[in-house]
Structure 1
Amino acid sequence: MAKLKRKQYDALLEPLEQELVAMARWARHTGARICVIFEGRDTAGKGGAIRAVSQRLNPRQCRIVALSKPSEQEMTQWYFQRYTAHLPAAGEIVLFDRSWYNRAGVEKVMGFTEDAKVERFLKEAPTFEKMLTDDGILLFKYWLTTDQEKQEERLAERLEDPLKRWKLSSIDLAAREKYDAYTQAREAMLAATHSDHAPWTLVNFNDQKRGRLTLLRNLLDRLPDTHIEPPELVFPDLEHVPIAESFCVLQPIKEYPLD
């Protein structure tokens, strides 16, 4: 399948963005609470998928949650505790860039936690998510799939590109040798936590543009009818000539002409 050119992608993305804006208006109007989890291997494209959802939405309504490793205090808490503080309130959309499923993925594969804690997590996660959905939260869980060959290409790109170098860590490099282990951990996670109330959806992200479009279409199709007419706004003419700014402003740098 041929790769989408940028203009083709933008043309296909625009109507989905319009639907996302309408969905956000519906969520605000109805008080819906929407929680979307993005999981996948390193370089799968989670950040780009999250931006595709959020970039046209009000950041006060649509929040991105990307937690760092737990603090010493958080490590003594109930495992799910630090995530509950970030769950959506009425009218909010929360996008988790990785989530409580860290325990079944990187923590398990890289040996950051004991196997017993992983097994306990796999038993508790469906119950935790049932509590969320029973309380009315709309929960969507996406796993972005990536072949190892494609992952290797993207890791090399991050290493060579100074603008993407920050995305690459020693943990990412160590995880390269554990592709099969991550696959086994993912399959165990899916078997234990795929449920009627909180199913997993796997999306092919070998082609990230097509993956984003597929994910957005799936997310929008799984929500109820979100059509809410926008409020009518009157835009009257000013009763005076528009006023120019009167204070000193920084002038454009000569090396960067406006034309």
Structure 2
Amino acid sequence: MAKKPTNDTPNGSKPKMSREEYEEELFRLHGELVKLQYWIQAKGLKVVVVFEGRDAAGKGGVIKRFTDRVSPRIFRVVALPAPTEREKSEWFAQRYVRHFPAAGEVVLFDRSWYNRAGVERVMNFCTQEQYDIFLKYTPVFERAIAESGIVLIKYWFEVSMEEQERRFRARINDPRKTWKLSSMDLESYNRWYEYSRARDAMLAATHNRHAPWYLVQSDDKKRARLNCIAHFLSQFPYEELPRDAPALGKRNLSGRYDDQGAIADYPFIEERY
């Protein structure tokens, strides 16, 4: 597994990235994702991307930047709620496999079957036997995924204890973010080292050649987003495909009538801004 890169400054943190620098590079990467989208469609690739990590590590923000400028029909996000009673009785990966891609699709899992190795393990939502079976057979399951022709990419987002606390407090104090803070988040805050040990066991058991883990240092949200998208792009030998430039042409104005007057008597919303 690749080592964490050395920081640029003596105090252990990189210089702050400006908003302009971030937006400029994100614009460029979005353009590359669009090129990749066409290439994946043309090649009929099936891609699964797993996003895992500590609570408040920034997974959702990265996924949003992945999908901002691509087609939701090609890049699909799957973020499943807590399992139903029926789903709890199923094979651990069954409800996720239902969402796997067809040819020409990319599925981004905002958390995945690895819930069993994280929250289910720490919170005792599964038995020791279920957990042991998960660690034993997940590499077999993922090898079968890879050998079936699906590209499987797994990211673990790592955030420091201090930054996680800062983000949790921001969620408490910002009415736009309170929905992000659940009872499970509070438990994860109180069980830092239990989650660390669960992470360590998961990585040790499921990091291998056909389905490696890629760790993303996420204390700096801007850099984490750019680094993850850039790494994802690097996993494909894609190229820009030739496409006919679209042309609007000239409107066909036959059948002209007062189309705006036709809707004038219907209630429009108040223009407050």
TM-score normalized by the length of structure 2: 0.89
Amino acid at match of 1:152: E
**Are 2:104 and 1:87 aligned?**
no
**Are 2:65 and 1:52 aligned?**
yes
- The corresponding residue for 1:240 is 253
How far residue 100 of structure 1 moved from its aligned partner, in angstroms, is: 0.3
Q: What do residues 107-163 of structure 1 show as CA deviations (whole Å, max 9, x unaligned)?
A: 101111112211110111111111111011111000011000000000001011111
For the residue of structure 2 that corresponds to 1:210, the secondary structure is helix
Amino acid at match of 2:112: S
Amino acid at match of 1:247: I
In structure 2, the CA distance between the partners of 1:14 and 1:250, relative to structure 1 (3 Å rule), is farther
Tell me, in whole angstroms, the C-alpha distance in 2 between the residues paired with 1:38 and 1:216. Answer: 12
- The corresponding residue for 1:181 is 194
For the residue of structure 1 that corresponds to 2:108, the secondary structure is strand
Of all paired residues, the percent bearing the same amino acid is: 43
Alignment of 1:30-41 (within 5 A): 30-41=43-54
Higher mean displacement: 23-32 or 149-158 = 23-32
Alignment of 1:66-145 (within 5 A): 66-145=79-158
Tell me, in whole angstroms, the C-alpha distance in 1 between the residues paired with 2:81 and 2:135. Answer: 21
Tell me, in whole angstroms, the C-alpha distance in 1 between the residues paired with 2:268 and 2:15. Answer: 45
- Partner residue of 2:231 out of 218, 243, 246: 218
**Are 2:218 and 1:201 aligned?**
no
Tell me, in whole angstroms, the C-alpha distance in 2 between the residues paired with 1:25 and 1:8. Answer: 27
For the residue of structure 1 that corresponds to 2:65, the secondary structure is helix
How far residue 253 of structure 1 moved from its aligned partner, in angstroms, is: 3.5
Could you tell me whether the CA contact under 8 Å between 1:110 and 1:175 is conserved in 2? no
Q: CA RMSD in A?
A: 1.7
TM-score normalized by the length of structure 1: 0.94
- The corresponding residue for 1:26 is 39
For the residue of structure 2 that corresponds to 1:144, the secondary structure is strand
The runs of 5 or more residues in structure 1 that have no matched partner are none
Tell me, in whole angstroms, the C-alpha distance in 2 between the residues paired with 1:49 and 1:29. Answer: 25
How far residue 254 of structure 1 moved from its aligned partner, in angstroms, is: 5.1
Could you tell me whether the CA contact under 8 Å between 1:141 and 1:200 is conserved in 2? yes
